[in-house]
Chain A
Amino acid sequence: MILLRLISWPYIRKHALRWLLTIAGIVLGVAVFVGMHTANQSVLYAFRQTVDRIAGSTQLQISSGETGFDENVLDRVQEVREVRVAVPVIEAVVNTGLPGQGNLLILGVDMTGDRGLRQYDLESGDEAVIDDPLVFLAQPDSLIITDTFAKENKLGIGGKVPMSTMEGEKLFTVRGIMQSSGLASAFGGNLAIMDIYAAQKVFGRGRRFDRIDLAVQEGARVEDVKTKLEALLGPGFQVESPSARGQQFESISRIYALTANITSAFALFIGMFIIYNTFQIAVTQRRSEIGILRALGATRRQVRTIFLGESVVAGLLGSSLGLLLGIAIARGMTGYIGALLGEVFGIAQKAEQISTNPALMIFAVVLGVITSVVAAFIPARNAARVDPVQALQKGRYQQLSAGENRVRRITALAVTILAAVCLVLSRYRLLAYAGDALAVLAVLLLTPTLAQWVARALRPLLRWLRPVEGTLATDSLLQAPRRTSGAVAALMLSLALVVALGGLTRASYDSIFKWLGVALNPDLFISPSQSLTARSFRFPGSMAEQLRAIPGVGEVQSVRDSRIQINGAPVIFVAADVQALVQRATLPPTAGDPKQMYRLTGEGKGVLASDNFALLHGYKLGDVLDIPSPRGVLHLPIVGIVVDYSDQQGSILMDRSVYRRYWNDDTVNIFRVYLARGAAEVEVKRRILERFGAERRLFVLTNRDVRQYIVRLTDQWFGITYVQIAVAVLVALLGIVNTLIVSITDRRRELGVLQAVGGLRNQIRGTIWLEALTIGAVGLILGLAFGALQLYYSLRITGEDLAGMRLDYEYPYQICLILVPVILAVAFVSAIGPAESAVRGSLVEALEYE
């Protein structure tokens, strides 16, 4: 400790700027880790809280995926002796017509019995409503809102809330206001209670409930009642505690959490290189100090301890700052992620506050410190190996790395061979991952050598460009590979990441567009919600006929989709009239005979599975799926596997007749409408809106609208990955600045001599600029090359394990075209400051240096 204070602190103080830049790597890594996870957890927490608060004293919830079930299930449940109280629930998220209010979570309940489970805490209202649900029930436009929502919108008792319902735009009347605690604080207070039968009408649910909430009799065991109800209702129903819904959400947002992990791991990884680099430089610079200490009797261990101690301090400091920054990031991101998850997965939550998790925070700090210590390990070992005799001789550099270079090259070769073996055997998933890791390792080990080669190759070019400055710049790199290799490695890694992500994004877009062209070819889509993923509202099946009667409408296909769980995996099923569908849109098959698969599916003898579903969960053609339905488990074989990107978690396509039979549900989410020959899109759209506008809530989306919508969703999704790119580039830039500052400090004397013998300031500047550009160029060349390999792995791993997409390999040239000028420009910009400091310094001082 005392040594750390005496030896390290003055050095750190002297090079505070560089230290902070170094720590920035850790700061960013930890910040991204903490930020993304905290945001994710906050969303999860908000969701759980909403679930909890809505659940009240509910002990079990009965649901059937998202499809809902017939009313009569309630009677069967209420007849179970051990059930004290069971009440029906409909939950829906509605966009209110109130400005700036966004979504309102509507809870449809049966007020005559619901207070057995939930405390409404009505604080004001119609005298009658507070105690008496009669008025509330008698008027179907009744709404109970929360105190928060009332205040925000200046609503009082009798106030009107506009909402678009299945019967068109309607005004609802506030008949009660709940105190903002408990139930009323669910969904950020944007919660409203409606009579469940009114909700059935408003949301087009027919005579169906989404869910039954229940509490058991005193003395009955919840587990027993769960078992009994499961037996009673059959496998089409899930009987779970309210908290189990949080787990479901967690499994759905798994991909997101994984993305967050990868991003922060990358930031930390790159940060590690910067720390490694800085420490390596520090060891070189403090060589004589180490020599003195050794001469005075410091053991190797003591020297190593000093440097490791410094790395611990750097790690702690970086992690702490990262923690703060991460929390700030989380604040900014939580709403965005909540909205994204809400939109992509259609799950209601409203995350407003971030919830911090102490375990996560501690883990992040530990992670930061470990990263820092690992990064400093080799430099610290080198410091311990400093030979005091050589260190004390002025002006002599000790080559620390002569032997190490050879060892490194041999290791690199071995690792490369291993990576290649893994590549050959990469059909085993684990080996594919190992191969990627080994490839990264190999390239890192080779970085100094590769950087040398590239710099040497660039030398003639620079020399031709600027004889003096060019030579000096490249020689500086060649003479001190250690100084630059860290920065080059960091830059290379981050550029490789950019290339890989860019390629991945492009490939994903290509696939999605291809699919859009094939699968989503109707002229118009009619949906009860603005988005195609929201499933709060539904149309009656009979509406198809009414649509067909509209002039200009050629063909109408009814589609009902919903999320269910198959063997614990969330999946979207799409129920459509397969025979009609196949006439218009044939999804490209990846397995199975196209003719037969559609025939069998149409006959209800099988289902089509999406390629991503099959890949993610390991299903093959002919496997029999156990699909839970309210009428029992449906055993249907996969008769075909097709490319379909309806959902990230995978989708299955079944015939609507099967759905009607097993779910007893005739409702429709989406009508796919093909125009009659010669009909004008705008005209037909107008007619549909005129026909139904007054009596139904509906949105008519043109093909173009839907494409844009899907592209926007995809954009949002990749928006998260762009954060990775930004982080990577930022960290790499820190590396360049850091390296230049050190390079100039190291060469102060050399630069001084240069000036003394007649070098102009501009020539000095030019040298530094060129050095920066060379580092940038070396990083670019290596990074873009390594990116090609990384892209291959990204496509395999991300494609198969995360999104379940088969993606084509195509190198993203466009991105490179952007990256080259950007990185060179940034390298140049980062050289300005150091270059100025190099020419400003006193010449005499520079010459006396050391």
Chain B
Amino acid sequence: MIDLAKVSKIFSGKRQVTALEEIDLAIARGEMVAIIGPSGSGKSTLLNLIGGLDTPSSGQIEIDGNRLSGLPDDDLTRMRRDKIGFIFQFFNLLPTLTCFENVAIPLHLRGWQKKKIDERAKELLGMVGLASRIEHLPEELSGGERQRCAIARALSVYPPVLLADEPTGNLDTHTGADILKLIRDLHQRLGSTVLIVTHDPHVAESCERVIALCDGRIVEDREGKNRLLPAAAQPEVR
């Protein structure tokens, strides 16, 4: 599903920074993978490259059989639109739009019919448990609800790949666990490939696979320890 071959990313500027160095990585369809590592290890950069938000300095990336390198920006955008859903640490909801409108935006961007958008957005909000919050503005929601809304938005076209950058980083532990459970549920129900960048070892361990980065290299690639446990059964971390 996701294949990286010798992918490097170098930020040039006053000081050259190598964020990723010759990464080789293959993630199969339907996997749920955690990416961990200290700050500056290149986790987010890796996610951005896979999401097509950024382009590698060298190497090849393939998503669902599509090679990203060399794609013009519009094609890259279209790929992103159809294959990838993003979940951010800070939710990145548009503060002026209601829950419903936030979820509807990507569908508008795809030029869907209004009726179809309505149906889908309601379906998604129901799926993440926000059916009663449709007309609320983000500031009227709790942190967990905001993230649910963001997840609904990310799922809008049921993309095969879901990328989450510290999805629980901005939430208290309990809510974080809820969100994680939601992601896992969706992963199971929809069969999406999920990549989660996280600091939180509990989040990481509940994934099927854990990849650790350090200084732009993969230093560990293993199975998650608690991956078999249902999320709800995990011990609460305090």
Contact = CB atoms under 8 A, between A and B. Distances in A.
Interface stretch (B93-101, B194-202, B227-235): B93-101
A7 B105 CA distance: 9
A392 interface: yes
A388 B106 CA distance: 15
Contacts of A300: 73-74, 77
A388 B108 contact: no
Interface in B91-128: 92, 94, 96-97, 101, 104-106, 108-110, 114
Contacts of A6: 94, 97, 101, 104-105, 108
B52 to A, nearest CB: 9
A298 B77 contact: yes
B217 interface: no
A389 B48 contact: yes
Contacts of B114: 2
A392 to B, nearest CB: 7
A782 B204 CA distance: 60
Interface string A369-397: 00000000000000000011100101000
A297 interface: yes
A295 B78 contact: no
A14 to B, nearest CB: 7
Contacts of A294: 53, 77
Contacts of A388: 53
A3 B88 CA distance: 22
A295 B97 contact: no
Interface string B34-61: 0000000000000010010110000000
B106 A296 contact: yes
Given A10-B97, A297-B110, A392 B92 contact: yes
Given A3-B109, A6-B105, A389 B54 contact: yes
Please classify the interface of chain B as helix (H, G, I), strand (E, B), loop, or mixed, using the class held by over half of its residues: helix
A292 B51 CA distance: 13
A248 interface: no
A343 B152 CA distance: 74
A393 to B, nearest CB: 9
Interface in A765-819: none
Nearest to A1: B108
A844 B104 CA distance: 33
Given A6-B105, A297-B110, A389-B53, A394 B90 contact: yes
B187 interface: no
Interface in A1-47: 2-3, 6-7, 10-11, 13-14
A289 interface: yes
A570 B32 CA distance: 88
Interface residues of B, number: 27
Interface string A290-307: 011111111111100000
Interface in B47-90: 48, 51, 53-54, 73-74, 77-78, 80-82, 86, 88, 90
B92 A288 contact: yes
B184 interface: no
A295 B86 contact: yes
A338 to B, nearest CB: 51
Nearest to B159: A297
B148 interface: no
B153 interface: yes
A14 B95 CA distance: 11
Contacts of B90: 394
What band does the interface of chain A fall in when counting residues whose beta carbon is under 8 Å from B?
Answer: 20 to 34
Contacts of A301: 74
Given A296-B153, A298-B77, A11 B86 contact: no
A391 to B, nearest CB: 10
Nearest to A388: B53
B71 to A, nearest CB: 13
Most buried by A among B54, B86, B92, B153: B92
Contact of A299 (B54, B78, B101): B78
A291 B80 CA distance: 13
B74 A289 contact: no
B51 A295 contact: yes
B109 A392 contact: no
Interface in A271-301: 288-289, 291-301
A297 B81 contact: yes
Contacts of B48: 389
Contacts of A10: 94, 96-97
A2 B97 contact: no
Nearest to B48: A389
Given A6-B97, A389-B53, A297 B92 contact: no
B53 A292 contact: no
Nearest to B84: A297
A720 B97 CA distance: 49
A2 B117 CA distance: 12
Contact of B106 (A14, A289, A297): A297
A486 B228 CA distance: 60
B88 A7 contact: no
Contacts of A392: 88, 92
A339 B68 CA distance: 72
Contacts of B77: 294, 297-300
A298 B109 contact: yes
Nearest to A301: B74
A296 B78 contact: no
B235 to A, nearest CB: 32
A318 to B, nearest CB: 23
Contact of B53 (A3, A13, A295, A299): A295
A660 to B, nearest CB: 83
Contacts of B80: 295, 297
Given A6-B105, A10-B96, A302-B109, A296 B53 contact: no
Given A293-B109, A295-B80, A7 B51 contact: no
Contacts of B109: 3, 293, 296-299, 302
B108 A299 contact: no
Contacts of B73: 299-300
Given A3-B108, A6-B101, A297-B80, A292 B94 contact: yes
Contacts of A3: 108-109
A11 B53 CA distance: 25
A13 B95 CA distance: 13
Contacts of B104: 6
Nearest to B82: A297
A13 B153 CA distance: 24
Contacts of B153: 296
Nearest to B137: A10
Nearest to A385: B73
A828 B73 CA distance: 46
A381 to B, nearest CB: 13
Contacts of A389: 48, 53-54
Most buried by B among A3, A294, A389: A389
Contacts of B110: 297
A506 B92 CA distance: 60
Interface string A556-569: 00000000000000
A7 B88 CA distance: 20
A64 B86 CA distance: 84
Contacts of B74: 299-301
B197 to A, nearest CB: 13
A302 B53 CA distance: 16
A11 B96 contact: yes
Given A6-B105, A10-B97, A296-B105, 20 more contacts: A3-B108, A10-B96, A11-B96, A292-B92, A293-B109, A295-B51, A295-B53, A295-B86, A296-B81, A296-B106, A297-B77, A297-B80, A297-B106, A299-B73, A299-B109, A389-B48, A389-B53, A389-B54, A392-B88, A392-B92
Top 9 closest pairs, chain A to chain B, by CB: A297-B81, A10-B96, A296-B106, A299-B77, A292-B92, A388-B53, A389-B54, A298-B109, A389-B53
7 contacts: A3-B108, A6-B108, A294-B53, A299-B73, A299-B74, A388-B53, A394-B90
Interface of A: 2-3, 6-7, 10-11, 13-14, 288-289, 291-302, 387-389, 392, 394
